[in-house]
Structure 1
């Protein structure tokens, strides 16, 4: 009886190990590098170009304002010794006010740019996620990861996703 029990348990364990191995072989995992999608997909490049065009005028105005402030500051430093105390105080106050305005505009510009960039990247990510789902369903993947500490390159499907994204446009 003990003999049958031992062999029965051994047989059962062997069968379970074989079933787990077969199931593991059928389990397909893929990986998508979202950073590459944001750099290489045509929709991401188009979004970047759109943002550059949208914010180019404000960026130029900001750069011009910064240059003007720098020029005024340099001029003040050169002339400060020859100015009266009252003139020096007035010019310093003007420079401080101009700098405060410049900092405010720069901060607003950065906030607006970041908000729009997040909107555009979210649209790219939404499209990419739909394509990832399509690829996963077509190729029978069980799991697709977007972040990992290490991934074997054979599981990387980023090229397929980028190709599908680019052809979908």
Structure 2
């Protein structure tokens, strides 16, 4: 049995999650929060973003950010995108970057949770239908360090317990 990966200080996950843990339906997000989209842009601007291929398909390459897409398809590519075939490969590509954001989807978040040092969670005050979920945030491993309530949602920061 191999050791679990060690958290990396430059890896953060950024996500919007409904009360029921839903983050999407496999194609789109079940809500549209303009203020949160601006927060996402402001926070990730200038930093690499690591994502799965379906997440890339739903948002495309965003200006001002390096996009690294994880896919099992060895012949897949897209303009302005770097391709990795595993999360460890993607993280190796950004090892020297000051800050890296994992931006989804559900399977990539599950794989990245052991590597993350920080979680930037938009808690959405809804419980929509959806098949894609965010992994549970274990209070034994994470401590809430900031909360900014907004109408219909809250921005919450978690830091990994040392």
TM-score range, shorter chain: under 0.3
With structure 2 as the length reference, what TM-score do the two structures score?
0.23
- After TM superposition, the score normalised by the length of structure 1 is 0.22
Which protein shows a greater Rg?
1
